[in-house]
């Protein structure tokens, strides 16, 4: 087991990474401190890992709540089911929620924890690659709205992140690829050597080679923890973590939540971001091509469904959380490993990228 710390003063917490952690009581019980706990999971993860976690925490006698699976259920209605379980079970302000699952479970459980009785503790026990490298770290919680992804939420840091890499062995190939989108993002935005490592080791990651997976997760978490420690509430450099996400969130919202996995949309969004960066003259053609090639090798879509139009992007980008004074800000690249948040880009170049990827009028 390896450990690193997200440095946030009195809200600092560890990320524990290793094999077999769900079966190790000492990995989780110390964070409960004899408090009443409720495990929140979904219908896909529960048959695989709920009993293992409950047995590990048997001395704490945690309750359980099994929710429907999928991005379509990342709603306030689903969060209300968590509130119902907490209230009917007489869980007090000193209780702890345990999010066992992927990014959706982590986000909605964290949001419930942030808002139940004005804030209770929670732990992240991520079971997907995307959650282990990204969504479980940093304290972003929330739900979707029909007009925009993650528009309702709160910053609420977990007590700990317990990432058991054994859970990735049951991950479908599509979910694995979705997680790799976030891994690739970290190389592109601020870690060029890591991007090179990914180019050399992608086949090992796709084959679920344990040492390669552990290294990819560790490097991703190190990169995210460093940025979160600098900017917990996204007033500055943390916005860089949204590379590919402004485009990706439009894809998810326009297609309907769940039609594409979040990581699939981010993968296509990364391609659009590097394409625009290249059209602006900021990124070399060779580097654009390297980035797109790695996204495609990971099994992620590099093109969009035919029904998406440039107008969809213009309309939905207006609701993006990075809009300031009515001006859209995008995370773009000056080089592999050097991302910037830009509002002064040529809008005509954005239109070129949108028309190219949406194929408006091009069949």
Q: Would you say residue 324 has pLDDT above 90?
A: no
Residue 218 designated active-site: no
Q: Is 249 a catalytic site residue?
A: yes
Domain spanning 173-358, CATH architecture:
Up-down Bundle (1.20)
Q: Between helices 210-230 and 173-190, what is the axis angle to 10°? A: 50
* Annotation says 11 is catalytic: no
Candidate list 73, 149, 249, 329, residue with the active-site label: 249
pTM, two decimal places: 0.94
Instruction: Report the pLDDT averaged over residues 52-78.
Output: 97
- Of 6-10, 83-87, 251-255, 324-328, least confident by mean pLDDT is 324-328
Whether 257 contacts 236, CB under 8 Å: no
Catalytic residue status for 145? no
Residues of the chain above pLDDT 70, percent = 99
What's the burial of 29, exposed, middle or buried (CB within 10 Å: 0-12/13-18/19+)? middle
| CA distances, 189 to each of 25, 47, 54, 254 (Å) | 36, 37, 38, 26
Burial class of residue 344 in the structure, from the number of CB atoms within 10 Å of its CB (0-12 exposed, 13-18 middle, 19+ buried): exposed
- Band of the pLDDT at 360, cuts 50, 70, 90? low
Ranges of each domain in the chain: 2-170, 173-358
Instruction: Give pLDDT, residue 118.
Output: 97
Section 27-51 average pLDDT: 97
* Cα 95 → chain centroid: 25
Q: 123: closest CA among 56, 181, 180?
A: 56
- The reply to whether 209 belongs to the active site is no
Could you tell me the pLDDT band of residue 322, with boundaries at 50, 70 and 90?
confident
141 and 178 in contact (C-beta within 8 Å)?
A: no
Among the options 262, 279, 288, 329, which is catalytic?
262
Q: Which position among 42, 144, 223, 242 bears the catalytic label?
A: 242
Q: Could you say which of 71, 175, 232, 234 is catalytic?
A: 234
- Per-residue pLDDT of 252-304, as tens digits, reads 999 999 999 999 999 999 999 999 999 999 999 999 999 999 999 999 999 89
Task: Say yes or no to pLDDT of 240 above 80.
Answer: yes
Residue from 73, 74, 81, 140 carrying the catalytic annotation: 140
Query: Would you say 45 and 19 are in contact if contact means Cβ atoms under 8 Å apart?
Result: no
Structure-token pair, residue 224: 């995210």
- In which band, very low, low, confident or very high, does the pLDDT at 343 lie, cut at 50, 70 and 90? very high
Which residue in the list 156, 238, 288, 329 is annotated as catalytic? 238
Q: What is the pLDDT of residues 163-199, one digit of tens each?
A: 999 999 999 999 999 999 999 999 999 999 999 999 9
Q: Which of the residues 71, 175, 182, 264 is marked catalytic?
A: 182
125 band by pLDDT with thresholds 50, 70 and 90: very high
Q: How far apart are CA 330 and CA 328, in angstroms?
A: 7
Tokens of 188: 């592109």
Show the DSSP H helices in the chain as ranges: 25-32, 51-56, 76-88, 103-115, 129-130, 173-190, 192-206, 210-230, 245-255, 262-279, 285-297, 310-317, 347-358
CB atoms < 10 A from the CB of 140, how many?
24
Marked catalytic residue, from 245, 279, 288, 329 = 245
| 262 is a catalytic site residue | yes
Fold of 2-170: Rossmann fold (3.40.50)
Share of the chain above pLDDT 90, in %: 93
234 given a catalytic annotation: yes
Q: Is 224 a catalytic residue?
A: yes
Phi, psi dihedrals of residue 225, rounded to the nearest 5°: -60, -40
What confidence score (pLDDT) does residue 176 get? 98
Statement: residue 107 has pLDDT above 70? yes
């Amino acid at each position: 087991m390896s450990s690193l710390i997200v440095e946030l003063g009195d809200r600092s917490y560890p990320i524990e990474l290793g094999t077999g952690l769900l079966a190790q009581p000492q990995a989780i019980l110390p964070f409960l401190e004899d408090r009443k706990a409720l495990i929140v999971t979904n219908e896909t993860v529960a048959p695989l890992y709920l009993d293992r976690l409950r047995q590990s925490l048997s001395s704490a006698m945690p309750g359980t709540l099994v929710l429907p699976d999928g991005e379509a259920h990342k709603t306030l209605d689903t969060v209300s089911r968590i509130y119902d379980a907490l209230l009917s079970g007489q869980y007090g302000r000193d209780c702890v929620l345990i999010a066992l699952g992927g990014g959706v479970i982590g986000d909605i459980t964290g949001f419930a924890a942030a808002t139940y009785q004005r804030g209770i503790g929670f732990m992240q026990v991520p079971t997907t690659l995307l959650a282990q490298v990204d969504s479980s770290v940093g304290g972003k919680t929330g739900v979707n709205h029909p007009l925009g992804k993650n528009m309702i939420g709160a910053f609420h840091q977990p007590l700990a992140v317990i990432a058991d890499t054994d859970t990735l062995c049951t991950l479908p190939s599509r979910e694995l690829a979705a997680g790799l989108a976030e891994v690739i993002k970290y190389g592109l935005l601020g870690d060029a050597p890591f991007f090179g490592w990914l180019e050399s080791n992608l086949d090992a990651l796709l084959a679920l080679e344990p040492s390669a997976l552990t290294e990819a997760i560790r490097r991703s978490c190190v990169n995210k923890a460093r940025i979160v420690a600098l900017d917990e509430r996204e007033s500055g450099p943390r916005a860089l973590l949204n590379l590919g996400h402004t485009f990706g969130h439009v894809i998810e919202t326009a297609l309907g939540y769940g039609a594409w996995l979040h990581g699939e949309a981010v993968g296509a969004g990364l391609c659009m971001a590097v394409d625009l960066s290249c059209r602006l003259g900021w990124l070399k053609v060779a580097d654009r091509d390297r980035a797109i090639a790695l996204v495609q090798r990971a099994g992620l879509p590099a093109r969009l469904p035919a029904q998406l139009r440039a107008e969809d992007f213009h309309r939905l980008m207006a609701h993006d959380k990075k809009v300031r004074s009515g001006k859209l800000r995008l995370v773009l690249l000056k080089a592999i490993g050097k991302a910037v948040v830009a509002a002064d880009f040529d809008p005509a170049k954005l239109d070129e990228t949108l028309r190219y990827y949406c194929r408006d009028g091009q069949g």
